[in-house]
Amino acid sequence: HVGDYVLETKSGNMVSYSTLNALLMKGVGTTTNILRHTYVSWLWESGKLRTSTQMKKVAHEMRHSIEMLMSYRKFLADGEQERLLVGDDAE
């Protein structure tokens, strides 16, 4: 949410989302959104998002929908997206 704090410094100062984005852009030339996409892409590539339960957990932790999480995945095998959305956790 706009205006919410996302981090606290060692000295107790609160860092907002916009401040964090500004610091990231200045320091490494990226944004929190790019970091989020990178993290989810890494989860996909490492096989940590194979079941709907895993996807629901990560989507909840990242405060977005499973559909948003799946949009980060460009290529899914035939039927994989449908299987994950209906909740087939059998491996």
Question: Angle 69-17-25 (CA atoms, 0-180°, nearest 5)?
Answer: 90
For residue range 25-69, what is the model confidence (pLDDT) as tens digits? Answer: 999 898 888 888 888 888 888 888 888 899 899 999 888 888 888
Q: What is the pTM of this model?
A: 0.62
Euclidean distance between CA atoms 40 and 66, whole angstroms: 11
